[in-house]
Amino acid sequence: MNKQNLLIKPENEAKIDKLISEMTIDEKIGQLNQVGPSALGAFEITLEEQKALLKAGRITKEEYEKIFSGQKWDNEEENVAAGKIGSFLAIRHPEKINRLQKVAMEESRLGIPLLIGLDVVHGMNTIFPIPLAEACSWDVDVYKESARISAKEARTHGINWTFAPMVDVGRDSRWGRVAEGAGEDTYLTSKFAAAKVEGFQGDDLSNSERVVACAKHFAAYGAAIAGRDYNSADISLQTLWETYLPPFKAASDAGVASFMTAFNDINGVPCSNNKYLLTDVLRDNFGFKGLVVSDAGSIGECLAHGNVADRKDAARKSFNAGAEVDMVSRCFVDYIKELIDEGDITLEQLDNAVRNILRVKFALNLFENPYVDLSLRETVCLCDEHRAAARDAARRSAVLLENDGVLPIKNKKKIVVLGELADMADEMLGTWAALGRGDEGVSLVQGLKNRGVDFTYSACYGVETPLDREAFDTAIKGADLVIATLGELRRMSGEASSYADIALQGDQIEVVKLLKESGIPFVSVLFNGRPMPIPEVKENSNAVLEAWHLGTEAGNAICDILFGDYNPSARLTTTFPNKTGECPIYYNHVPTGRPRGEIRHSCKHLDVPLDPLYPFGYGLSYTEYAYSDLSVELKDGKVYATFNVKNIGDVAGEETVQLYIHDVLASRVRPVRELKGFKKVLLNAGETKSVTMEVDINELGFYSMNMEYVVEKGDFELFIGHDSTTDLKAVFTV
Residues of this chain that interact with ligand GLC (CB under 6 A) are: 89-90, 119, 163, 216, 295-296, 495
* Cβ distance to ligand GLC smaller for residue 77 or 229: 229
Q: Please list, residue by residue across 389-413, b when 16 or more beta carbons sit within 10 angstroms of its beta carbon and e when fewer do.
A: bbbbbbbbbbbbbbbeebbbbeebe
Least spacing, CB of residue 230 vs ligand GLC, in Å:
9
Least spacing, CB of residue 659 vs ligand GLC, in Å:
32
**Residue number with the shortest CB distance to ligand GLC?**
163
Q: Is 27 helix (H, G, I), strand (E, B) or coil?
A: helix
d(CA 523, CA 541): 6
* Cβ distance to ligand GLC smaller for residue 163 or 678: 163
Q: Which amino acid is at 46?
A: T
End-to-end Cα separation, the chain, in angstroms: 25
Which of 225, 102, 120, 113 lies closest to 162, judged by CA? Answer: 120
Residue 491 sits at φ, ψ, to 5 deg, of: -75, -5
Least spacing, CB of residue 267 vs ligand GLC, in Å:
20
Least spacing, CB of residue 262 vs ligand GLC, in Å:
8
* Cβ distance to ligand GLC smaller for residue 37 or 438: 37
* Cβ distance to ligand GLC smaller for residue 185 or 295: 295
- Angle, helix 554-562 to helix 384-397, in steps of 10 degrees: 50
* Cβ distance to ligand GLC smaller for residue 89 or 554: 89
Q: Please list, residue by residue across 472-496, b when 16 or more beta carbons sit within 10 angstroms of its beta carbon and e when fewer do.
A: beebbeebebbbbbbbbbbebbbbe
Least spacing, CB of residue 730 vs ligand GLC, in Å:
42
Of 168, 295, 326, 344, the active-site residue reads 295
d(CA 316, CA 335): 8
Least spacing, CB of residue 480 vs ligand GLC, in Å:
46
d(CA 362, CA 350): 18
Q: Is 295 tagged catalytic? A: yes
Helices (H) and strands (E) in the chain, counts: 23, 25
Beta-strand (E) ranges in 208-348? 214-218, 258-261, 265-266, 269-270, 291-293, 326-327
Is 484 within 8 Å of 522 (Cβ atoms)?
Answer: yes
Which of 363, 357, 367 lies closest to 111, judged by CA? Answer: 367
* Cβ distance to ligand GLC smaller for residue 6 or 90: 90
Which of 408, 384, 415 lies closest to 552, judged by CA? Answer: 384
Least spacing, CB of residue 213 vs ligand GLC, in Å:
12
Is 584 within 8 Å of 576 (Cβ atoms)?
Answer: no
* Cβ distance to ligand GLC smaller for residue 227 or 447: 227
- The residues that are catalytic are 295
